[in-house]
Structure 1
Amino acid sequence: MLPDLTNDSIINFLTLRYDPTSAALLTPLNEESFAEEKFDNVQLKILEIVKEDLETKITQRKISRISIALSGGIDSGFTLLMAKNYLPELKVDSICVGFGDHDDEVSRAKEISRQYDCDFHEIYIDNVLEDLPKLISISEAPRWNLYQFYSLEKAKKYSDVFFSGDGGDEIFGGYVFRYKKFLDEVKKVDCPSWMDKSKIYLSCHDRDWVPDQEEIFNKRLNFSWDRVYENFKPYFDNVLHPINQVFLADFNGKLLHDWIPSNDKFGRHLNLEIHSLFLNPKMVSFSTKLPWWLKYDSKDDVGKLPLLTIMNAFRGFEDFRGIKKGFSLNLLNMWNRYGKDIVSSYLNTESDTVKDSVANGHWITKAISLASNSLDDNLKIRYISKLLSLFSFELWYRIFISCNLNPNVKL
């Protein structure tokens, strides 16, 4: 079902990368979800939940082969370790996505696969935009970061069951690159209101918006930052610790309204079951009741502490501290190699969204110039990211609204 094409939903997609007002496939969290409880042995409880989950989803159904999305990070590594630990005879195909960047995680993922007797499959994506019309038509959403489809498509060749690491960051505190900034900025404000925290939260997601965000839209959409901030009031207008408020916002935001809906649509399209050890309701309930400081060390800026403790007991992970990269690509390289040419051919003053008074053609011209010529690489990345969002919206618009773009066209 297509997202409602309201002014607010358009503004949300192009400012947050998702629309928090859309229906969620999983039950959202709330303030009560974070009522703390004491547990004698956190790691043991996690292992008990994982073991039961694997028995239900694999052993009892007599499944002999699964696929796993494997990067060099914590969530996918934890998933592989648990599968091989509790089901040593299980056949596992590990799938890693690379983009040709020098810091791709392929080499570490390949070594982990070798150590744990998995069949390793590498997917190299030369042009992440090539099949975007097709991926948008399947997901029915205006997003460009849909390249997880390739790992799911590959997985289907080997098994009907796929495990991702979705949810690990949100429930065990993996977005450490944002937590410290959030806490530091909140401390600077006397008695911060929910509005103050909402603004600070979005400032920690500055690659999702640009300094002249309001200029992206035609004036008839009546863009308002205050209406955007209102989306976050339920997460910050409560008595939770600021870190738990961030956990709440992260879970109910991108996870529920971006990652999960996209994977659900892709799974249905491929007839592939997609599971995550971290999205088991028992795991979600348990993790949110843990005191935040058992998950995130604010002094050393390290997250997912219980998962790291468990993983450090396994061969090959003794000194592992985790990295936060996942299947991501170098936007500057992508833009310079092919992104600018592809985006510019669809985003210009003759775009359907411009002609229909949704997007601002003057902003598009200015943004393409800044993305290409700014001396500030971070600013370049922000504008590239925003142009990609508007580009995906233009493709979505042409496929579902104007009905003048064939989803099978290659870019």
Structure 2
Amino acid sequence: MCGIFGTLNDEYAIRKEQIFEGLLHRGPDEQGCFSLYNVQLYHTRLAIQDLTVSGQQPMMYKGLVIVFNGEIYNHMELRQKYGLSAASNSDTLTILMLFERIGMKMLEEFDGMFAFALYDTQNLKLYLARDRAGKKPLYIYKKGVSYVFSSELNVLYRSCRPEINYAALADYLYLGHYYRKATPYHLVNELENGHYMIIDTLLGHAEDVCWFKMEDAYRNEQGIGYEDALSQLDQHLDTAVKRRIESADLDVGSFLSGGIDSGLVTAMAAGHQSRLKTFTVKVPGSFDESALAEKVATRYGTDHTVVEIDFSDLANDIEKIISNHGEPNSDNSAIPSYYVAREAKKYITVVLNGDGADELFGGYRRYVPFKHLDFFNPGYFTKMGAGMLTKILPVANQKQSLYTYAYRLLKFAGYADPVKIYCSASSDLFVGFEEAFIIKPEMLAITGDLERYNGYSISPLKKLLLMDFESMLFSRLLPKMDIATMGHSIEGRSPFLAREILNFAPGLPDQYKIKNIRTKHILRTLAKKYLPAELIEQPKRGFEIPLQKWVDHELREVMQTYLLAPDALYPHIIKKSFIEQLITRRIGISEERRAKILFCVFSLEVWHKSL
């Protein structure tokens, strides 16, 4: 895993030392650069595969030059398929050889996670590309015919100093993360997952090409029996795990919680690596999954470690945790992710995880009602009745209670706007408090996508799963994990985001994912083959973060210092009086939602002060 940076027609005084310093945590093992004509490429390397000198980057091959961040897990299979041979086993070299053979059609062949810049010095073309899910980040600043691209926003900002986009900040506050291409800055966009860009380095013209569309996979329903689907899922996941172990020259470990996603990955990994290293995190005040994880570790004889994490230094660490992201981040699970990655680095450099399983197979409890009702197109009486009930019923305060669940369902049904429905069903921040905004959220990109998805002849559940993949997973969860792991020079690999599974899971019938009120039905069935019975029906918990407690105690002082500062940024976007009323509990809102909104705005302020 690595960090990449580059420029075309550079008009900025960017020092090599500044770039390497900013990306060193992504690649502490080696650093290299390349310059030809008007193109400069920079690379910092975390050596995982082909640890010899032949894996160094930038890598050159027959007039092609590449800086590559990621792993191509099936690259040796592709060498055999296309008759490619070389002394080095580097997957980076495979990319160059395959590009020479079939060009950018090679992307469709890859099972991997990647972001790369490939410079064809003969045809004077620069190619920037990302994988299907968007596991590896790539941000692009474009001004006229000048381009700067980077694995991280912080390094790009320090290089180019782009202006803040206040309209984008309003959208961030409403949704809780930046949607798709959006960033906090003018002239800076994120290259989307499943896309590549071709830049003519002579003229500066660029073309954005979509090579993988997840929505196409959801529109292509598979007519497959349940037993056949179960067998294929078993095979696809085992192949994905096997590739992610074999394509590393270091030991690969596995995160092991008490859930079925990490349990399945660990069980399959233990079949491909002897004495697999596993570890479970134990957090005071949260549900203790270590006993359940221990049952899996014992069954498969793993080298198991329980790591206890406390948050005693949270007040001192919180600003660093947030500012590492390079943009505001309302996902408070970034806090435990930071500490988990820090502890994991003491044991391993490469770790398997279960990212993507919930979004592909229906793992969240909020998916259940969308299996049975079309909340994206509720009838008139449903909207009216739900709206009236939410006005007279007491506010739901208990996070995991059935009443809270029912209350949120009524909120979904009471909205006519698909954007409000989605934001309420996901982040649940400012929906209903639109009058607090001074700069009104435009939400143009997400509105267009939701309207398009709603026009497809697919089920409400598929619409929500598709939206979560393109929004929640791509724009929030994967960046969070990338920053947490790479911040500690550790590589996370996600078998559920393998090429074969991304092509297979979306087309499965809804009842294979949600059966009555049972989430992840097909995964739970598969788990019977591999896991102790106690794990199979466990509800999804994730990290049970005591955000309310943190907001009112551990983080209270630092948060109020930012939120009540006379030079705060957010009063340009939302009314300061609204936040002050939230702080003093003068607004009728659940404690959990109050804490989430305050943390969302606090994150904005920490990001801004770190610039």
Conserved 8 A contact 2:309-2:339 = no
Asked if residue 6 in structure 1 is aligned to residue 173 in structure 2, the reply is: no
Asked if residue 49 in structure 1 is aligned to residue 233 in structure 2, the reply is: no
Asked if residue 131 in structure 1 is aligned to residue 317 in structure 2, the reply is: yes
Give, in whole Å, the separation in 1 of the partners of 2:264 and 2:311.
Answer: 28
Conserved 8 A contact 2:258-2:535 = no
Other structure's SS at 1:95 match: strand
Structure-to-structure mapping, 1:9-408, within 5 angstroms: 9-22=168-181, 23=190, 26-27=193-194, 29-34=213-218, 35-39=220-224, 41-61=228-248, 63=250, 65-84=251-270, 86-87=271-272, 89-98=274-283, 100-101=284-285, 103-118=287-302, 119-127=304-312, 128=314, 130-144=316-330, 145=332, 146-147=334-335, 148-180=337-369, 183-184=372-373, 186=375, 188-189=378-379, 196-205=417-426, 207-209=428-430, 211-215=432-436, 217=437, 219=438, 221-224=439-442, 229-230=447-448, 232-297=450-515, 299=516, 301-317=517-533, 320-354=536-570, 357-370=572-585, 379-400=590-611
Q: CA deviation at 1:90?
A: 4.0
Give, in whole Å, the separation in 2 of the partners of 1:51 and 1:354.
Answer: 47
Q: 1:272 to 1:399 in 2, by over 3 A?
A: same
Q: 1:319 to 1:101 in 2, by over 3 A?
A: closer
RMSD over aligned Cα, in angstroms?
Answer: 3.1
Task: Spell out, residue by residue over 1:98-151, the C-alpha distance to the aligned partner (whole angstroms, 9 max, x if none).
Answer: 2x2253434433443344333123232325554222123322121252121222
Q: 1:255 to 1:185 in 2, by over 3 A?
A: same
Give, in whole Å, the separation in 2 of the partners of 1:389 and 1:253.
Answer: 17
Q: Which has the higher contact order (CA 8 A, sep 6+)?
A: 1
Conserved 8 A contact 2:370-2:460 = no
Give, in whole Å, the separation in 1 of the partners of 2:544 and 2:286.
Answer: 12
Give, in whole Å, the separation in 1 of the partners of 2:574 and 2:419.
Answer: 25
Higher helix share: 1
Higher strand share: 2
Of all paired residues, the percent bearing the same amino acid is 22
Conserved 8 A contact 1:12-1:228 = no
Conserved 8 A contact 1:173-1:296 = yes
Give, in whole Å, the separation in 2 of the partners of 1:156 and 1:46.
Answer: 31
Conserved 8 A contact 2:281-2:307 = yes
269-278 vs 160-169, greater mean Cα deviation: 269-278
- Equivalent pairs counted in the alignment come to 387
Q: 1:223 to 1:52 in 2, by over 3 A?
A: closer
Which residue identity does 1:365 align to in structure 2?
Answer: E
Give, in whole Å, the separation in 2 of the partners of 1:310 and 1:228.
Answer: 35
Task: Spell out, residue by residue over 1:312-337, the C-alpha distance to the aligned partner (whole angstroms, 9 max, x if none).
Answer: 12352367213111123132333333
Give, in whole Å, the separation in 1 of the partners of 2:474 and 2:350.
Answer: 21
Aligned to 1:406: none
116-125 vs 380-389, greater mean Cα deviation: 116-125
Which residue identity does 1:249 align to in structure 2?
Answer: M
TM superposition score normalised by structure 1: 0.83
Other structure's SS at 1:296 match: coil
Conserved 8 A contact 2:559-2:602 = yes
Which residue identity does 1:340 align to in structure 2?
Answer: R
Give, in whole Å, the separation in 1 of the partners of 2:581 and 2:446.
Answer: 24
Structure 2 unaligned blocks of 5 or more: 1-151, 182-189, 195-211, 384-414
Q: CA deviation at 1:307?
A: 1.1
